[in-house]
Structure 1
Amino acid sequence: MQTVLYARVSVADQTIAHQRKQAEAAGFKIDVVVSDEGVSGVSTVLAERPQGRRLFDMLRAGDVLLCRWVDRLGRNYQDVTSVIREFMDRGVIVKTVINGMTFDGSTTDPVQMAVRDALIGFMAATAQAQAEATREAQKAGIAYAKERDDAYLGRKPSYSRSQFSDVVARLEMGEAVQAIAKATSLTRQTIYRIRDNRAEAEAALARWAA
């Protein structure tokens, strides 16, 4: 049996090393890292990514597939739910670093199965909704910057796009502000600003092309 960390980064300020460090800090012992860099989770399904395809070949019953959150597997509801179910059918256990979620196909209890499947659907839907909201906020931020004669950018964000995505994911899962600040190395005030006005926080990144 092995624990395989799947890491995906789509922009320059995200790193594979950060995702591994985050997983190890949460207590996971990783045997293999499989990663895709510069690949969108929206437009490219897992099976069509260069390294994503490897997972389907290498994972066996009893193995653990670990990812930072389900959005690393993808940001398409249909793809993410079908991928997780396929791996569970193979006997692979799927775990997330954020909130320590575990999806195991071995249970036969109908209530546990219903709860598990509902969580999978919720998390996959949240990942897609987050991606769509981010895309719209980016458009709004870019349009706003272009409309200003003086090309006013405002204060440069104190967070990177990777940190922003991490904060949003943790907020969606109900983590406390103090815990998020500690995990992301951001101030609580920054977390509050992202939480209370996510669209503007994303627009600021877009204005600075971050």
Structure 2
Amino acid sequence: MTRGTRLTAVAAVVLALLCAAAATTAFTMGGDSRPAAARPTAGSPDAGFARDMSVHHQQAVEMSFVVRDRTKNTEVRRLAYDIANTQANQRGMMMGWLNLWSLPVSDASRLPMQWMGMGEEPSADGALMPGMATRAQMADLAKLSGKQAEIRYLQLMTAHHKGGIHMAEGCVQLCKVPAERKFAQGMVASQQSEVQLMSSMLKQRGASATSESHTGS
């Protein structure tokens, strides 16, 4: 990771923390005035979604920082910036909710997506949840540049978004906190729109979301 990428990553962490504080304040003032006994528990879909989607978002932010340094294409860099900014903001909100509910932001006793009735062990190649890139895929992206990096990023992010959409749809069905269900529904709509955009961008580059071959940079 380059020095510029590291600095941007630090900025994103700061943004997430600020958003977490803002989310806590908003719920308190606006807000989640229910007694503690009525708030989501550690094993609830509300808490599970907030925890797992925070992890899912963090990889999208990291992936976007990587491609930003690997291409000069304005369109891809703009998309990567929008995804990184939006998902760092959303991650901060979800961490803020967990803090408000007095719940940990991670829970090693529960498998990823267990709250959705899935709960499979993370794969050996480092993909923690459906749609997430493996360690090898992230390393591959960091080695590419130009058009090849653009294609690989768009492919990985398309799969990432599809996994995120599946999880957000689970929250829409299962979460009990109205604000969180509305948040998840908005996430479904925005990521579906970005999947369509990325499909168009891949076609412009002679590739598809599932193709493995890359044209020259």
Q: TM-score, normalised by structure 2?
A: 0.28
Which structure has the highest helix share of the two? 2
Which structure has the highest strand share of the two? 1
